Amino acid sequence: MKDLAEKAKGYGIPAVTVDGNDVFAVYEATKFAADRARRGKGVHFIEVKTYRRKGHAEHDDQHYVPKGELDRWASENDPVDRYVNRILSADLVGEADVKDIGDRVRVEVDQATDSCVNEPLPEAESALPGVYVEPPAADKLWFKAL
């Protein structure tokens, strides 16, 4: 089976596979599925294929990825670059608009990052609500707060 969407079709669920690096394709597939659901037509499976540019975890140095593949992939398929190039070539925005948006996003991300970095660590017990029906009492935890 090449696409997971084929499995959904086997259960009678309409399905589509889209290029997850194409912002417009993902938007259109999602809009179609949401509109369909709002009309009472049920679920719609969307398989969004992309490329994992980071390892499975922090300790994964991706030694198994052929040299140059990550850089080559990023230069050809980066979703943000593809989106920006498409809206620029369609004259939907100008270069100055893209720069302005980028500047505003950088400021917003920096402010959010600073806010998080300066916050104290949450209590370990706060991770439990919503995981267990009745979270265990603090004296029954197998871990202790840092």
pLDDT in tens, 61-99: 888 888 888 888 888 889 999 999 999 999 999 999 999
14-64 pLDDT, tens digit per residue, is: 999 999 999 999 999 999 999 999 999 999 999 999 988 888 888 888 888
Q: Which residue has the tokens 């709002």?
A: 38
Neighbouring residues of 141: CB distance < 8 A, sequence distance ≥ 6: 124, 125
Q: Residues with Cβ < 8 Å from 82, sequence gap 6 or more?
A: 21, 22, 23
Q: How far apart are CA 32 and CA 62, in angstroms?
A: 36
Q: Is the pTM of this model over 0.75?
A: no
Structural domain boundaries of the chain?
Answer: 1-52, 90-120
Query: pLDDT (tens digit, 9 = 90+) per residue, 21-32?
Result: 999 999 999 999
Q: Give the bridge partners for 129, in sequence order.
A: 132
Phi, psi of 47 (to 5 degrees): -95, 120
Q: What's residue 136's pLDDT?
A: 62
Identify the band that residue 146 occupies on the pLDDT scale cut at 50, 70 and 90: very low
